[in-house]
A and B are shown apart, each in its own frame.
Chain A
């Protein structure tokens, strides 16, 4: 059973527009959430995180929103750039346990 779900395998957005990537989770004990970005033939790299005590965290063009009651988080990228084209993984953890990852969403930003 998938505890972290990314239901959109792919997303295509025009350069300059907003990209919204979604993630749902089932484990209500998760208390820390992260987004990782992965380019082909490279390992995932950390992008942004949010603690369960917050509902928003912003870092430059990237903002993560957390809705605990809906067990839903989203990553907003604005404005989207061609270099943002990658696979984005949502991840979550409960305390010090290892991260649980979703299947990823492939974002394509079209110039």
Chain B
């Protein structure tokens, strides 16, 4: 597609449920990044993929968070046993590579609300 697509755009879930957030990067973009923006906060790095591998998972807040990427394309961020503090906008970005010359293109995000 022309841009980075994220689904769903909005998700309301009950505390304790699992959720899956999807990111479709721009075709040909080998690097894929997940960030989240909580209320009043900046963009917090979660994880990134180069191809299907995740060299840096250091930003994942807890072991309830996991992510995978298949076929060097679609990525899924899974949050198990959601908590209210997981409420945030989850943003995905892709780029042609990880080099400094490669800019990020962001999707519009998934707004997650845990009630």
Report which A residues bind B (CB closer than 8 A): 2, 4, 6, 31-32, 34, 41-46, 49, 51, 89, 91, 93, 95-104
Residues of A within 8 A of B56 (CB): 97-98
B42 A104 Cβ-Cβ under 8 A: yes
Bound CA–CA A97/B104 (angstroms): 12
Minimum distance in angstroms from A67 CB to a CB of chain B: 20
B41 in complex: contacting residue of A31, A46, A96, A103, CB < 8 Å: A103
**How many residues does chain B have at the interface if contact means C-beta atoms less than 8 Å apart?**
24
B108 A44 Cβ-Cβ under 8 A: no
- Contact (A103, B45) CB under 8 Å given A32-B100, A44-B106, A45-B106: no
Residues of B within 8 A of A98 (CB): 33, 45, 48, 56, 59
Main secondary structure of the interface of B (DSSP, over half): loop
Residues of B within 8 A of A44 (CB): 43, 91, 106
- Contact (A43, B100) CB under 8 Å given A89-B42, A101-B42, A103-B42: no
Whether B30 is near chain A, meaning CB under 8 Å from some CB there, is no
- Contact (A89, B33) CB under 8 Å given A43-B4, A43-B93, A99-B104: no
